[in-house]
Amino acid sequence: MTSSNQIYPVLWHHDKVSLIDQTRLPNEYEVVEISRCEDMAQAIRTMIVRGAPAIGVAAAYGMYLGARDIQTSDRDSFLKELESVANLLRQTRPTAVNLFWAISRMLKTAYETIGTVEEIRANLFKTAQEIHSEDLQTCKAIGANGLAVLPSKPDKLTILTHCNTGSLATAGYGTALGVIRSAWYGGRLARVYADETRPRLQGAKLTAWECVQEGIPVTLITDSMAAHCMKQGLIDAAIVGADRIAANGDTANKIGTYSLAVVAKMHNVPFFVAAPLSTIDFDLPNGDSIPIEERHPSEIYRIGETTICPGGVEFYNPAFDVTNAELITAIITEKGAVKPGELSSLLARR
């Protein structure tokens, strides 16, 4: 399998982090340079960088940037200030567990380093780079494992996806879009149907852009067209990513995923979730307690510069929903694909 994909949303370069500004794509390609943890927190909050695994990688570098600026050589004072950096980053986005996972892993590195503050800093940098490079390898493994469980017929599949789960949402390559990429390079893909993904339009702006960059045939539909497309027999499988998967397989992902899973069930379309193990929150027994981010209502009352509704209405803007495990055919991870009820079997493979 080969890929010409060269999109890296997060890069460490000249002692700074370079982020592709995902709020400007597809019309403008701009790179933002980040050298302070406060700026990284803001970049995560404003979705310059987004997508659960990419948020984890960005947060790991954010921890290092914060550690770099701590002005003490006393270990205890340093660790106390590092906890404040962690808290700042934790307050950016609540749903993607990769954020919290990456911050915990960075803190663990700090506490487990027996040495000077300078040595702790060096190990923090090493861990951030590990989190970054591991994610790329993880995505490629998810792609290969996903390819193995796709429906065997027809030879070339038409796959529907939601939001953006590609290179832009990870260290590179992608999760659900990574499986789609693997299907493309494995000769198993006819076409991608990309939901536009209201209100932030990650499907229209980012997934469609990635597919066009790579020559993958893509058809853009609005979210409300997915049921109709399935009823017409246009879709062979649906694959989405995840922001947090509870121990029983209930899956939080971009708003609209749940309704997609319901209509997929209705039309016997297999519905796959692709995500790294770092997205599974084994501490939560089910999806009821997954925190769901609510974002500013301007995301729904405005399209571009235009306000689309009258004054006097109220708004509700949850950014994620939770899909019940029973609606999911399989969860595809870097350690293999399992039924949602069998997630715990992956623990032994970690």
Tokens 């017929």 correspond to 153
> Exactly one of 5, 202, 329, 333 binds ligand MRU (CB under 6 A); which one?
202
Is position 50 annotated in a ligand binding site? yes
State the nearest-atom distance from the C-beta of 189 to ligand MRU, in Å.
Answer: 18
- Binding segment for ligand MRU (CB under 6 A), chosen from 104-112, 224-232, 238-246, 334-342, is 238-246
Among the listed residues 135, 243, 281, 321, the single catalytic one is 243
> Exactly one of 9, 94, 241, 270 binds ligand MRU (CB under 6 A); which one?
241
283: which residues sit within 8 A by CB, 6+ positions away?
Answer: 247
Q: Does 59 bind ligand MRU (CB under 6 A)?
A: no
The answer to whether the beta carbons of residues 239 and 323 sit under 8 Å apart is no
SS (H, E, C) 192-220: EEEECCCCCCHHHHHHHHHHHHHCCCEEE
243 is catalytic: yes
State the nearest-atom distance from the C-beta of 329 to ligand MRU, in Å.
Answer: 17
* Closer of 53 and 270 to ligand MRU (Cβ): 53
> Exactly one of 92, 113, 170, 207 binds ligand MRU (CB under 6 A); which one?
170
Is position 51 annotated in a ligand binding site? yes
| Site track 293-332 with ligand MRU (rule: CB under 6 A), x = hit | --------------------------x-------------
Strand (E) or helix (H) holding 67: helix 52-69
> Exactly one of 44, 96, 131, 183 binds ligand MRU (CB under 6 A); which one?
96
- Binding segment for ligand MRU (CB under 6 A), chosen from 37-45, 62-70, 225-233, 235-243, is 235-243
Q: Does 165 bind ligand MRU (CB under 6 A)?
A: yes
> Exactly one of 7, 57, 160, 163 binds ligand MRU (CB under 6 A); which one?
163
CA triplet 288, 294, 300: central angle to 5 degrees? 130
Q: Does 52 bind ligand MRU (CB under 6 A)?
A: yes
In the chain, what's the furthest Cα-to-Cα distance?
66
Q: Does 53 bind ligand MRU (CB under 6 A)?
A: yes
- Do the strands 271-274 and 330-333 form a parallel or antiparallel pair, or are they unpaired? parallel
Residue in 48, 51, 55 with CA at minimum distance from that of residue 31: 48
- Binding segment for ligand MRU (CB under 6 A), chosen from 9-17, 50-58, 124-132, 229-237, is 50-58
Q: Does 175 bind ligand MRU (CB under 6 A)?
A: yes
CA distance 2 to 316: 43
Phi, psi (rounded to 5 degrees) for 117: -60, -40
Q: Does 205 bind ligand MRU (CB under 6 A)?
A: no
273: which residues sit within 8 A by CB, 6+ positions away?
Answer: 176, 239, 240, 241, 242, 245, 251, 253, 323, 328, 330, 331, 332, 340
Q: Does 235 bind ligand MRU (CB under 6 A)?
A: no
- Structural tokens at position 184: 């493309």
- Binding segment for ligand MRU (CB under 6 A), chosen from 36-44, 150-158, 239-247, 324-332, is 239-247
CA distance 246 to 103: 19
Cis peptide, bond prior to residue 26, ω within 30 of zero: yes
**What is the side-by-side strand order in the sheet with 244-246?**
280-281, 244-246, 251-254, 320-323
- Residues at the binding site for substrate are 50-52, 93, 202, 253-254
- Catalytic annotation, residues: 243
- Residues at the binding site are 50-52, 93, 202, 253-254
Binding site for ligand MRU (CB under 6 A): 50-53, 96, 163, 165, 169-170, 175, 202, 241-243, 253-254, 319
